[in-house]
Structure 1
Amino acid sequence: MKPTFVQWGGGNIGRSFIGQVFSRSGYHVTFIDIDSKLVETLNEHKHYVVEAVSRDGLERLQVEDVSALHADWHKEVESAITDADLMGVSVGKNVWPHIARQLAHAILVRHKRRPDSPLDIILAENIHHGAAFVTQLLIPYLPKHFPLSSYVGLVETSIGKMVPIQKAHTPLVLRAEPYNELIVDKKGFHNPIPDVADLHPVHPIAAYVDRKLFIHNLGHATAAYIGFKAHPEQQSIAQVLEDPSVFMQVRKTMIQSMEILLHIYPKVFTRKELERHIDDLLMRFGNRALADTVFRVGRDLRRKLRYDDRLMGIIIRAQEIGMAWDRIGQAYLAAMEFIALDEEGNPFKSDVELIDELEGLPLYEAICLASSWSESDLPDQLCHTIAQACALIPRYTNGH
């Protein structure tokens, strides 16, 4: 009998990455989702296809033996989690508070029926300190002395797979890049780490979460912001990276962030492996077949310009340890003027509102507002110092 993997969240990452990886390693995968059409379609067909697109062409990966439950089917969800051999969740940080009560109740039911079978949950999210975040959400819905830390293994991950906006009109076909490396916290499991081909256990996971945010996400966003500034008429990330000036600016920005990470994690990464990682990412960013857009990669400025996100997050660390961050600052300044349009010619509404709010403000006030500095516990003087340094950074122009 096949082992069962329960995947809460049947979105792009849930199906094209997590569900696919475990299905291909011999698991029956049961998805939990709120999308009625998705649930109905998966239960009718019992399979779906991931189109892995690269410069080498298209490979169709058939994901077999899957089923689905609607999140509103509480008893069925409880039973699935009770019987699961392993579980994953990929719903996004903002949705977690809405599933915490139901997940906690399902964990309670499992504990009553199978007290000697701890449950490992792969947190397929890019969330700093994800296990602590989820623990704080679950605790209010569990009895006071419930053994959460010993019964549930909250396994943090670093999710690097790129999945563009889907154009297919059926839940049975998704398009994604071929990359399938699922980096997990080797210390997070209570049960033996499963023998899954694409699973890569690491320690410390925090270093790899930072690598994802401050090299991968930073580089991708930089390509969008610098690429838009240089070529506002181009829609795809691959297209703007074909400009050698943009490509080199993005690479140098990623290298600058790499130097900061090497200082923070001297015993985890080597310069050689991080440079190889950067060059692999740039090749993946340049995947024309993926058709990823400047709009998608750069949009949502209120999140991406925050003090704890891909650009300002590493600027703050660099400033605190006295390292250079001028190239990253140049990308941040370009982001503050980012007004790319989607394929229908529409801007991202929240971004337009933010750009309007920044209009006419002194640079210090604009940076503090864009970064949501007031929501942090960081000193105002640090924002002021960063803004003063930004004022000395030349704005990016094509060729510089």
Structure 2
Amino acid sequence: MSKQPSAVIIGAGQTGRGFIARFLFKSNYHLTFIDKNEKTVNYLKQDNFFTIHCFTETVPPVHIHGFDTHLAASAAAHQALLDADLLFVAVGQQNLAQVAADIAPALAQRRSQGKDPLKVLTCENGVAPGQILTDAINGYADAQGAALVSEVAIFCTTNVLKKTRLDIGSENYNRVPYNAAILGGPLPIEGFDPDADMSKLLKRKIYTYNFISACVTYLGAYKGIEDYAASANDDEVRKLIFSVVPELNKALCRVLEVDAESQKTFSDNALKKFSDHNIEDYVSKNARDVARKLRPDDRMIAPANMIIENHGDTHAIAIVIAAAILWGERNEKLLESFASVAAVLTTLSKVNKDSELFKQVERYYTALKSGTTIGSLLK
């Protein structure tokens, strides 16, 4: 009998446990979860079972069982990495350097044993997470060349189900776009769909889906809406989205060289997904870590710069950025870290203080803080 293939997932959260795991489980991979959260690791060890429930009740649940679980950087995790056929990294982009430090010893040992480079796939939002992880791994001389790092684009919404220890609620999404070429060819995993240009897809996803998500999130939060689909269906929120998306689409078509009809369909699908009341999601969950989302290469500032370069109107996107800064001030002490809105824009977001965007954001921030409605700012 042939050996059961082994897949290690670093990051046993919503994406790793609730999305990637079901494809691997259905394709008969033995799963090993590695996580730094001791509570999560203990629950997975104790239960050795959890269920992924689709938000659409007609779709049967997937019961995941028979897996191993180890604490990050432990001896057991090291051994699992030595034995792995595939490694999936489902952590935030800001944590990739730590992942590289954790896995470098195992990669170095695999290479010393004459094993082929480990096939690694990043599974997190980001413009170039694969390159970030590759560069971090190559910072360890003994691990250089011991991994082939590919990327997965995550379009599926997942949530930890309330009042359960481990169960996940998931959108009925059954496609995993990934870069197969860098791995030497397609993986034998049902639902994994090779994409010819992952770099373009990841940028398009961040600057379309994640941008529209930022509109839904920070405008909804400003209006006191917690249900994500309710925010996406709110009249003022939709008015702003319909105002800015045509400008965004024109800019993305020029920068990413995609055709107009395809990009319009792409953005329409994003709003359709976010407006679906059958998909359980929350504004507060999507708002977290606002400083990362205000970086110059992320979902708000990069699209704004593209619109500027395309000679478009930035007033609507400036409202979203202002709402994000206000949310960060109220919920994550953003202005304690950066002292002022101006400092956020110039230091964190790298916005020129003499630019029209800078002036717009400062003006809209002041208006929003005083309680001005979004609708009145759009007039």
TM-score by length of structure 2 reads 0.85
1:259 corresponds in structure 2 to 250
Q: Percent of aligned pairs with the same residue? A: 20
CA contact (8 A) 1:251 1:278 kept: no
CA contact (8 A) 2:207 2:299 kept: yes
The one-letter amino acid paired with 1:81 is: L
CA contact (8 A) 2:122 2:149 kept: yes
Alignment of 1:2-41 (within 5 A): 2-41=4-43
Q: Pick from 175, 178, 188 the counterpart of residue 182 of structure 2.
A: 188
The more displaced of 306-315 and 388-397 is: 388-397
CA contact (8 A) 1:3 1:85 kept: yes
2:344 corresponds in structure 1 to 370
The one-letter amino acid paired with 1:47 is: F
Alignment of 1:346-361 (within 5 A): 348-351=331-334, 353=336, 357-358=339-340
2:81 corresponds in structure 1 to 81
1:169 corresponds in structure 2 to 164
CA distance in 1, matches of 2:239, 2:335: 29
Alignment of 1:110-125 (within 5 A): 110-115=110-115, 117-125=116-124
Change in Cα spacing, 1:30 to 1:313, as seen in structure 2 (3 Å) is same
2:216 corresponds in structure 1 to 223
**CA shift for structure 1 position 6:** 0.9
**CA shift for structure 1 position 303:** 2.2
CA distance in 2, matches of 1:198, 1:160: 13
Unaligned runs of 5+ in 1: 341-346, 359-365
Aligned residues: 369
Alignment of 1:233-244 (within 5 A): 234-244=225-235
What secondary structure does 2:267 align onto?
helix
Change in Cα spacing, 1:324 to 1:125, as seen in structure 2 (3 Å) is same
- Deviation per CA, 1:208-227, whole angstroms, max 9, x where unpaired? 11122111111011012233
1:154 corresponds in structure 2 to 149
The more displaced of 38-47 and 13-22 is: 38-47
Change in Cα spacing, 1:243 to 1:318, as seen in structure 2 (3 Å) is closer
Change in Cα spacing, 1:121 to 1:331, as seen in structure 2 (3 Å) is same
CA distance in 1, matches of 2:156, 2:293: 18
CA distance in 1, matches of 2:168, 2:176: 18
The more displaced of 1-10 and 157-166 is: 157-166
- Deviation per CA, 1:205-253, whole angstroms, max 9, x where unpaired? 2211112211111101101223344x33x32121223333422422443
1:61 corresponds in structure 2 to 62
CA contact (8 A) 1:17 1:180 kept: no
CA-based RMSD:
3.0
Change in Cα spacing, 1:59 to 1:247, as seen in structure 2 (3 Å) is farther
Alignment of 1:222-301 (within 5 A): 222-229=215-222, 231-232=223-224, 234-266=225-257, 269-301=258-290
- Deviation per CA, 1:250-281, whole angstroms, max 9, x where unpaired? 24433432221111122xx3333333332332
1:311 corresponds in structure 2 to 300
2:109 corresponds in structure 1 to 109
What secondary structure does 1:398 align onto?
helix
- Deviation per CA, 1:95-118, whole angstroms, max 9, x where unpaired? 223232231110111112243x22
**CA shift for structure 1 position 302:** 2.1
CA contact (8 A) 1:164 1:290 kept: no
What secondary structure does 1:256 align onto?
helix
2:139 corresponds in structure 1 to 140
CA distance in 2, matches of 1:310, 1:176: 23
Change in Cα spacing, 1:14 to 1:220, as seen in structure 2 (3 Å) is same
Q: Does 1:384 align with 2:342?
A: no
CA contact (8 A) 1:156 1:188 kept: no
**CA shift for structure 1 position 10:** 0.8
CA contact (8 A) 1:53 1:59 kept: no
Q: Does 1:338 align with 2:331?
A: no
Change in Cα spacing, 1:337 to 1:392, as seen in structure 2 (3 Å) is closer
Change in Cα spacing, 1:245 to 1:36, as seen in structure 2 (3 Å) is closer
Q: Does 1:326 align with 2:315?
A: yes
The one-letter amino acid paired with 2:87 is: M
CA distance in 1, matches of 2:297, 2:46: 43
What secondary structure does 1:322 align onto?
coil
